[in-house]
Amino acid sequence: MRHVIAIDGPAASGKSTVSRQLARRLGFVYVNSGTMYRAITWEVLRQGANAHAPEEVAAALARADVTCGFDADNESFIHINKKAPGAALRDSQVNDHVSLVSAVPEVRRVVCDRLRLLARDRDVVMEGRDIGSIVFPGTPFKFYLDASPEIRRRRRAAEGQSDAIDARDKMDATRKAAPLKIAGDARVVDTSHLTLEGVVDAILGILRPLGIPSQ
Ligand code: DC
């Protein structure tokens, strides 16, 4: 396994923009684990399964062919039954059900295995909720991005998305399997009043003395 930079945190804490930019500055690949949970949620709903019934979710997952990898531009992808779910991943239906689906242990197992495979022979910046605590507990490079609830709500609204982030965060933090939490050895970065560049520079400043130079 190569280097894994884990970027965890609640919804709209700035993880995606920061992680993507960080990966570019480091010459690492970027992996968004939330996309995988969203893709599986989309498939569970497409099959008409009841997202409130864990056994129905697990059965729908077992019927789906889930493939992950990197395309020619080193962008990670997830295909369900050989198709990319695309923009549907941000549908309000997916937003409303993804916390339920991602709380199902079978779903977490499949995604966790895929994430570990993706990092097997590449240096990655991976964002999510449990990357530092469960998926790669051994990585010394763990960050937890946070921002005030008000600022996070405003960020989502500015993206034009209908997303009940408070409800999602509550469910993600209180579920039994791999809840959202700050890994004991993670560095917490409050992004509330920082620009994107400010957050990325702060993280790069921590990584440099740890032997991870930016390009
Ligand atoms: O990062 P995001 O908002 O796109 O993630 C969508 C949902 O996926 C999030 O509400 C909870 C789940 N998720 C998770 O349980 N574990 C992860 N590592 C990433 C996302």
3-state secondary structure of 165: helix
Instruction: Please indicate whether residue 210 or residue 75 has the higher confidence score (pLDDT).
Output: 210
For residue 179, how many other CB atoms are within 10 A of its CB? Answer: 15
Substitution site in 98, 104, 153, 165 for ligand 1 pocket (most atoms within 8 Å of beta carbon): 98
pTM greater than 0.85 (yes/no): yes
* Distance in angstroms (rounded) separating the CA atoms of residues 40 and 102: 9
Ligand 1 near 102 CB (within 6 A): yes
Ligand 1 near 13 CB (within 6 A): no
Instruction: Please indicate whether residue 177 or residue 72 has the higher confidence score (pLDDT).
Output: 177
Note the pLDDT of residue 1: 54
Sketch the domain layout of the chain as residue ranges: 4-210
Note the pLDDT of residue 105: 97
Q: Is the pLDDT of residue 162 over 80?
A: no
Question: pLDDT tens digit string along 39-63?
Answer: 999 999 999 999 999 999 999 999 9
Output the DSSP codes for 76-124: EEEEETTB--GGGGGSHHHHHHHHHHHTSHHHHHHHHHHHHHHTSSS-E
Q: Pairing state of beta strands 124-128 and 29-32?
A: parallel
Token pair for 77: 């992808």
Substitution site in 102, 110, 145 for ligand 1 pocket (most atoms within 8 Å of beta carbon): 102
Ligand 1 near 128 CB (within 6 A): yes
Within 13 A of 157's CA, how many CA atoms are on the CB side?
7
| Residue 211 identity (one-letter amino acid) | G
Question: pLDDT tens digit string along 163-215?
Answer: 788 898 999 999 999 999 999 999 999 999 999 999 999 999 999 999 998 87
Quick one: DSSP state of residue 190? E
Arithmetic mean of pLDDT over the chain? 94
Ligand 1 near 108 CB (within 6 A): no
CA of 42 to the centre of ligand 1 (A): 13
CATH topology of domain 4-210: Rossmann fold (3.40.50)
CA of 121 to the centre of ligand 1 (A): 24
Spatial CA neighbour of 7 closest among 42, 29, 35, 32: 32
Ligand 1 near 125 CB (within 6 A): no
CA of 159 to the centre of ligand 1 (A): 17
For residue 176, give Cα distances in angstroms to 57, 74, 100, 137, 171. 16, 33, 12, 18, 10
CA of 202 to the centre of ligand 1 (A): 24
